[in-house]
Amino acid sequence: MRQRLLHGLLAAALGAAALLAPPAHAAPAGPSRAGGCDPLAPAECLLPFPNDWYTRPDPRTDTGRRVAFDASVLPRPATGTAVDPAAWNRADGFSPGSALIAQVPGLDLARTGAAPLTDIGGSLDRDAPIVLLDTTTGERWPYWAEPDANATDPARRALLIHPARNFRDGHHYAVALRRLKDGSGRTIPAAAPFAAVAGKRLPAHDPLRARQDRLRPALTALRGAGVSTRGLNLAWDFTVASTRGLTGDLFTIRDDAFRRLGDRSPDFTVTQVTDFTADQDPRIAREVTGRITVPGYLDEPGGPPGAVLNRDRNGTPRRLPHGTQLAAFRCEIPRAAFRTPSRPSLYGHGLLGSRDEVGAGNVKDMAAEHDFTFCATDWIGMAKDDIPVVLAALADPTLFPAVPERSEQGMLGALFLGRALIHAKGLTTDPAFRTAAGRPLVDIRHGLAYDGNSQGGILGGALVAASSDIRRAVLGVTGMNYGLLLNRSADFAPFQQVLDAAYPDKLRQQLVLQLFQMVWDRGETDAYANHLTDHHQVLMHIAYGDHQVANAAADVQARTIGARLLSPALAAGRSPDTVPYWGIRRIGPGQPPYRGSAMTVWDSGTPTPPVSNTPPTGPAYGHDPHEDPRNSPAARQQKATFLTTGRVINVCGTTPCTATPTS
C-alpha cells in the first residue's frame, strides 16, 4: 500500500515538474562580492562548499559566526522560485557530516593519488593531494574523495570529499587541494582568481583583495601544517556548527516539555486492547493502542504534515499557545510477560512507515524470545503521512525544514511515550498493562531501552541522545547522514526522479543534498553523534552489502561515536579495503564481553557494495540483506543481552557473524 501511495504521489509530482522548462546551466547567481558568490570558484555559486565566505561574524553564537546565505546564492529549482534562506541562516556553522564539494574540470583522482573509500588511511599521508586541517587543534582529518559517479556532464562533475568521521562541533577547518592531475598525468593549474588570491598581496583597489584577506588565516594555518601555497589548486575554510547550534531546537522543546510535565506521567488514553489466543499468535498475548498527550511546538494546531516549529522573534522554538498534540502508540506485550514482567522498550520504524511496524515478525520474535514489551509511535516528519511533503520538499527546498522540524516533534512524542511506559503512575497503572489479577506486565525497574531499524536507527540516535530515560539502544542497519546516504540507497530511486526534475544539473544536486543536510541534522543522528555515547551505550547492527543504508555511512558513524568493532568482522578477502574498517578499534574474539558501544557486522553473502556514490542495485548485487540481522536469532540474543546488561557478547565465536538471507 505504501508503495502504491508513493508512486501515485510521485506521478503527480513529476507531472507538475514536466510543465517546467529548466535552464541548461544558469549563470552563477549574484555578483562576486561578499554576500554573493565566492570569487574563488566562478563556475558555480556556493562552490567550494561548505565555505565561511557564506558566513558572517556574530558574537551571539557559540562559534562567533552565523551562516549568511542570500537567496540569490542558493540554487533555484526548475520553477525559478527563489529559496528562502531563513532556516539555514539560523545555523552558526555547517554540518559536521557535510561532504566537501569542489569542481575541477579534467580532474583524475586516481592519477592524482587522492585517497578513495578503500584507502582512508592514505588521506593522512604527508604528501596527500587533499588536506583537511582542523585549525582549532592542528590535527589532520581523515576523509575519502570520489568523483560524482552520477554526473552526466564531465565538465560539471563534482569532486566529493567525505569526512571519515564527523568534523568536531564548533571547530574551524581549512581545505587544500594540491598537485591535482588530469587523465594524462598533467598538473591542473589553479583558476585565475585563486592564483591571484594565493599570490602576492593585492592592492587595496583590487576586487579580489577582500577575498584574499578573508582567506589569509586559513593559508597561514595550512603553511604551519606543511602545506605550502606552491602547487595549490584551491584552498578554502569553513566552520562547523556548535553543539548548541546543532541540538538546540530539539533540546529546547524537550526541556520545556519535561519542565511542564514535572514529576508526573504524561497523560494517555488507551483506545483498544486486543488479546490473542496462542493459536492466533504464539508470541504476542496482547496488543494495546492508544494516544499520549504531548505539548505541541509546531506552528499549526495538531502539527499536520508540512508544519514547522513555532518560533519567537529570536528564532527559539516555543510551544504554540495552549498547543497539544496526540501521539498515537501501539504496544506488543509478549506471552512471556504473563509469567515474568517484561522489559520496556521503544521501537523505531523504518523509512516513511508507521508505528504498526512494531507488529512485524522480527519484533514479535524479539519480544517473545527475550520478554520485551515494545511500544512505538510514528516518526512524524518521516512517516507515511509525510510522503507528499517529502516529495514537495525535494522540488522546493524552502519546504524542506518541515521534514526535520516535524521529526523533532515526533521525537518528543516518543520521549513522552517512553516516560509514560516507565513511570510509576503511567501506562502500567492501566488494566491494559496488567494481568487479570492486577499484576503489572511491564517491570519499570529495568529502565527504558530502544531498538530501531533502518530509519529507526538513523533517527534513533537523535532520540537516544535527547533521552534521560533510555540507557541503552540498538541501532539496526543504521548509518548517518542522509546527505551521504541518499545517492547510495536503492530506496532513493523514486525520489531521485523528483530531484532530477527540479534540479537536472547533477552538480547542483550535490549542493542541494548538502544544503538539505544542514537543516536535516537537527532531526537525525548526524548532529548528535559527537556526543551520543557521552551518557548512552549504543550497539550498531550492520548488514554487509546493505542495499538501503550504505555501509560507508555506518562506518562513519562508528568512528564518530567511538563504537568498537566485534571481530573478525568479515572473512578474509571479503572487503576491498586496504585496511578493512580503518580507524575503528576492535573487540577480539578471545576478549571478555565488552561494556561500551560497539558495532557488529552481519554477512549474508551479498556481493560487496559499490565504492562509488551509487546504490547496489541490479542482479550483480544479489540479495538485499537489509532485514537479515533482525531476523537472526543470534543477533536478537546479542541485542537482548546488550539491552539488559550492557555487555556486548560474542555470539559468533572465532568466525565472522553471518545471517541467513530472508526471502
Please give the full DSSP string across 555-593, using - where no structure is assigned. Answer: HHHHHHHTPEEESS-S-TT---SSSTTTT--EE-TTSPP
Quote the CA–CA distance of 476 and 469 in Å, as a whole number.
20
The neighbour count for residue 56, using CB atoms within 10 Å, is 12
**36-70: per-residue pLDDT in tens?**
899 998 889 999 999 999 999 999 999 999 999 99
Quote the CA–CA distance of 286 and 432 in Å, as a whole number.
8
Quote the CA–CA distance of 509 and 173 in Å, as a whole number.
24
Q: What integer pLDDT is reported at residue 41 of this predicted model?
A: 87
Distances (CA, A) of 478 to 44, 195, 300, 359, 524: 34, 43, 32, 20, 11
Q: What integer pLDDT is reported at residue 592 of this predicted model?
A: 86
**Cβ pair 394, 9 in contact under 8 A:** no
**222-253: per-residue pLDDT in tens?**
999 999 999 999 999 999 999 999 999 999 99
Dihedral (CA of 164, 167, 168, 174) sign: positive
- Average pLDDT over the chain reads 94
Q: What integer pLDDT is reported at residue 3 of this predicted model?
A: 43
**Cβ pair 243, 170 in contact under 8 A:** yes
- The pair phi, psi for residue 472, each rounded to 5°, is -135, 150
**599-638: per-residue pLDDT in tens?**
999 999 999 999 999 999 999 999 999 999 999 999 999 9
Dihedral (CA of 329, 334, 339, 340) sign: negative
**320-334: per-residue pLDDT in tens?**
999 999 999 999 999
**279-334: per-residue pLDDT in tens?**
999 999 999 999 999 999 999 999 999 999 999 999 999 999 999 999 999 999 99
What's the average model confidence in pLDDT over 6-12?
A: 49
Q: What integer pLDDT is reported at residue 11 of this predicted model?
A: 52
What's the average model confidence in pLDDT over 189-209?
A: 96
Rg, C-alpha atoms of the chain: 25
Dihedral (CA of 64, 69, 70, 71) sign: negative
**What residues contact 458, with CB distance under 8 A and at least 6 apart?**
478, 479, 480, 482, 485, 524, 525, 549
The neighbour count for residue 255, using CB atoms within 10 Å, is 11
What's the average model confidence in pLDDT over 407-422?
A: 98
Burial of 127 (0-12, 13-18, 19+ CB in 10 A): exposed
Distances (CA, A) of 284 to 230, 628, 635: 69, 21, 20
Q: Would the pLDDT of 5 be above 60? A: no
Q: Kindly give the pairing relationship between strand 598-602 and strand 537-543.
A: parallel
Q: What integer pLDDT is reported at residue 2 of this predicted model?
A: 39
Q: How confident is the model at residue 590 (pLDDT cuts 50, 70, 90)?
A: confident
- The pair phi, psi for residue 189, each rounded to 5°, is -70, 155
Element containing residue 196 per DSSP (H, E) = helix 192-198
**What residues contact 360, with CB distance under 8 A and at least 6 apart?**
none
Give me the half-sphere count of Cα atoms (radius 13 Å) on the Cβ side of residue 393: 24
Q: Would the pLDDT of 26 be above 60? A: no
In terms of Cα–Cα distance, which of 305, 251, 300, 258 is closest to 522? 251
Cα 47 from chain centroid (whole Å): 23
**Cβ pair 73, 37 in contact under 8 A:** yes
Q: Kindly give the pairing relationship between strand 586-587 and strand 564-566.
A: parallel
Q: Would the pLDDT of 23 be above 50? A: no
**103-135: per-residue pLDDT in tens?**
999 999 999 999 999 999 999 999 999 999 999
- DSSP letter assigned to residue 157: P
Q: Would the pLDDT of 463 be above 80? A: yes
Q: Would the pLDDT of 34 be above 80? A: no
Quote the CA–CA distance of 414 and 378 in Å, as a whole number.
8
What's the average model confidence in pLDDT over 392-410?
A: 98
Q: What integer pLDDT is reported at residue 35 of this predicted model?
A: 57
**Cβ pair 362, 631 in contact under 8 A:** yes
In terms of Cα–Cα distance, which of 568, 564, 648 is closest to 640? 648
Q: Would the pLDDT of 161 be above 90? A: yes
Whole-structure pTM value: 0.95
Cα pseudo-dihedral 465, 470, 471, 475, rounded to 10: -70
Q: What integer pLDDT is reported at residue 17 of this predicted model?
A: 39
- DSSP letter assigned to residue 322: T
